[in-house]
Structure 1
Amino acid sequence: MIQIENLTKRYGSFTAVDDITFEARPGRVVGFLGPNGAGKSTAMRMMTGLTPPTSGSATILGRPYRDLPNPGRHVGVMLDAAAQHPGRTGREVLRLASLQMGVPKSRVDEMLDLVGLTDDESCRRVRNYSLGMRQRLGLAGALMGDPEVLILDEPANGLDPQGIHWMRGLLRGLADEGRTVLLSSHLLSEVEIVADELVMIGRGRIVAQGTKGELLAPRGTRVVSVDDTALQLALADAGLTVQAFDGFLVVEADPAVVGRLALDARVALVELGAHGAAGLEQMFLELTAADSRSVRDAALASSAA
């Protein structure tokens, strides 16, 4: 189990992670999502003892990561698959991990077989690995100690569609065995398939969290019209709560009510349906729109300077 309580990390005046609280329980896959620069990797580094928090706490199996005896036997971590010695072979990387953790040598062959690296591939230097092969090797290392908890940052990065399908089945199977899986990924469709719970972060703060069913359930009505300004006024005049997003409105009312009011206002509709049914990608874009704009504006300002 992973417990995060009021976890915060500041670098001078910049707050990378801002007072986040959530937990990941055994038997569950938790998708940890957010745009680039939202604070996901910093939070995971604090969970695994690589970055000290400014305040708050992160515990795994009831203890800070650094206090766990032989932590690789309890927590499997893959934060950067590229952080492997390029001059060693894949087999040497795993053999060193097995020695460090005190697991049998036979575990190396078991893990190579599990992640689909052949004997020939395991004897190549890591510098000659593709990104997908490095990902598989990194996952083999994370699983070497047969851990109860997995913390994985972009584990499917570089995998082909077949590899992504394999990864999905592996993570689901590990959770079904009673392990805790915390998964960060930008492949939203894959997270939507495999995750039980979602934690979404933007600008260092949690903007949404809960079970997948709760977060992706229909929430009001999504509507697009030829004149959203006029429609928004008509809906507001009828006492409905309306949120305006880039290119559409979200209304706290049934689609039938919204359609009738649009007809009365003589505003033609282009799209009308239950909001939230579009899935994780749509929710992600809506909740992190401001975060994405701030990153883009900062990049434009930097290039103009």
Structure 2
Amino acid sequence: MINVEGLTRTYGAFTAVDDVSFVCQPGRVTGFLGPNGAGKTTTMRVMVGLTPPSRGRVTIGGHLYRDIPNPGRHVGVLLDASAQHVGRTGREILTIGAETMGLPKSRVDEMLALVSLTGGEADRRLRNYSLGMKQRLGIAHALLGDPSVLILDEPANGLDPAGIRWMRGLLKGYAERGGTVLLSSHLLHEVEQIADEMILIGRGKIVAQGDKKSLLAGGAEKALVTALDNAQLSSALQAKGFAVSAAGEGLSVEAAPVDVGRVAAEHQIVLTDLRSGGAGLEDLFLQLTADTQREGHPEAATQQPAQAGGPA
């Protein structure tokens, strides 16, 4: 279990993390979401002793990271997949890790197979790795000591669609076996599929946390529906007191999909499409972190283009 209590980290007058508290439970994947510069990586660095907190503390299994003997056997960490000696091969990097943790060399081959790095790829030097290969190697290093806790910063960065699906299955299986996973990512769709709990952070403060259902429960229910006779369906829905508006080839209804389906069944109207039209995780994320976004910021609209020959 990871327990973050009143964590604050300042750099002079700048506060990178501001009184952050949350818990990551065993058997669950916790998604840690926020725009660039929101404080995610700083929080993770404090967790593993790379950055000292200004106030508050983080414990893993009830201990500060620095007090955990042979920490790689208890906590797997991936903060930067490129943070290894570029002149070493992937196999050498894992071998050094195994020797440091007191693990048998056979563990290296097990991890290479787990992350699907071939023998030829394992014997390449890190400078010749693609970003996706570095991520696979980083995940292998994090799992090397068979830890009970994983702390991963953007582990899907650089992976292709097949690699992302592989990683999703790997982390789900790890949590199902009782492991604790803290996963930072900007790939909201992926986090939405894998995370049991989600923490949204902006400007160093937590703006929302909970499971997907509870986070999205605050918005009004809405349905998107298409029928063989949209006009008949619209009239039937409005007669029941539901607000209806046109939406593409169908209708947008301020009602739960089950209520729309019930009205259609009562009037024997054939539906060709019916789904939730409520806000998703991306909408919630952008709404809660609106003042931290570069795109769409009011000041951006007032900026004039650089003159020819001037600074760009």
Question: Which TM-score band (shorter chain)?
Answer: 0.7 to 0.9
State how far apart, in whole Å, the 2-side matches of 1:72 and 1:24 are: 18
**1:198 corresponds to:** 198
Alignment of 1:90-239 (within 5 A): 90-217=90-217, 219-220=219-220
- Partner residue in 2 for 1:25: 25
In structure 2, what is the equivalent of residue 43 of structure 1?
43
Partner Cα distance (2:169, 2:162) in 1: 11
Change over 3 Å in CA distance of 1:298–1:74 after alignment to 2: farther
SS at match of 2:171: helix
Whole-angstrom CA distance in 1 between matches of 2:205 and 2:299: 19
**1:192-216 deviation digits (Å, cap 9, x = unpaired):** 0000000000010000001222113
For 1:165, give the aligned amino acid: R
Q: Note if contact 1:31-1:183 (Cα within 8 Å) is conserved in structure 2.
A: yes
Instruction: Give how far 1:280 is off.
Output: 1.2
> Conserved in 1, the CA contact under 8 Å of 2:291 and 2:297?
no
Aligned equivalent of 2:289: 288
Q: Is the 8 A contact 2:221 2:278 kept in 1?
A: no
The residue identity in structure 1 corresponding to 2:144 is M
CA separation of 1:276 and 1:40: change in aligned 2, threshold 3 A: farther
DSSP 3-state at the match of 1:38: coil
Question: For each residue in 1:169-189, what CA deviation from the matched residue of structure 2 results, as whole angstroms up to 9, or x when unmatched?
Answer: 000000000000000011111
What is the aligned partner in structure 1 of residue 34 from structure 2? 34
- Asked if the contact 1:219–1:276 (Cα under 8 Å) also holds between the matched residues in 2, the reply is no
- Segments of 5+ residues of structure 1 without an aligned counterpart are 224-255, 263-269
Q: Distance in 1 between matches of 2:277 and 2:15?
A: 30
* Length-normalised TM-score, structure 2: 0.79
Aligned residues: 264
Q: Secondary structure of the equivalent of 1:53?
A: coil
- 1:236-247 equivalence runs, <5 A: none
Please tell me the root mean square deviation across aligned C-alpha atoms, in Å: 2.5
| Preserved CA contact (<8 Å) 1:276 1:283 | no
How much has 1:292 moved relative to structure 2? 1.0
Give, in whole Å, the separation in 2 of the partners of 1:128 and 1:39: 31
Superposed CA deviations along residues 121-144 of structure 1, whole A, max 9, x for unmatched, are: 000000000000000000000000
Evaluate the alpha carbon distance shift between residue 87 and residue 162 of structure 1 in structure 2; reply closer, same or farther with a 3 A threshold. same
Shift of residue 283, structure 1, vs aligned partner: 1.0
Q: Distance in 1 between matches of 2:295 and 2:24?
A: 29
In the other structure, the counterpart of 1:244 is: none
Question: How big is the shift at 1:221?
Answer: 5.3
**What do residues 48-93 of structure 1 show as CA deviations (whole Å, max 9, x unaligned)?**
1000000001000101111100000000000000111100000000
Distance in structure 2 (CA, Å) of the matches to 1:297 and 1:37 = 19
In the other structure, the counterpart of 1:279 is 280
Aligned mates of 1:117, 1:19 — CA distance in 2: 41
Q: Give the 5 Å matches for 1:250-265.
A: 259=243
8 Å contact from structure 2 (residues 200, 208) kept in 1: yes
CA distance in 2, matches of 1:289, 1:222: 23
TM-aligned CA deviation for residue 217 of structure 1: 3.1
Does 2:73 match 1:73? yes
Shift of 1:297: 7.2
The normalised TM-score by structure 1 is 0.80
> Partner amino acid for 2:162?
Q
**Highest CA radius of gyration, 1 or 2?**
2
In 2, the alpha carbon distance for the partners of 1:25 and 1:215 equals: 18
Provide Cα deviations, 1:138-172, integer angstroms capped at 9, x if missing partner.
Answer: 00000000000000000000000000000000000
Structure 1 residues 179 and 276: CA distance shift in structure 2, 3 A? farther
Is the partner of 2:140 in helix, strand or coil? helix
Q: 1:271 offset after TM fit, Å?
A: 5.2
Unmatched segments (≥5 aa) in structure 2 = 224-239, 246-250, 256-275
SS of the aligned residue for 1:27 comes to coil
**Counterpart AA for 2:122:** S
Tell me, yes or no, if the aligned pair for 2:6 and 2:55 is still in contact at 8 Å.
Answer: yes
In the alignment, what sits opposite 2:229? none
Indicate the percent of aligned positions where both proteins have the same amino acid.
63
Q: CA deviation at 1:222?
A: 7.0
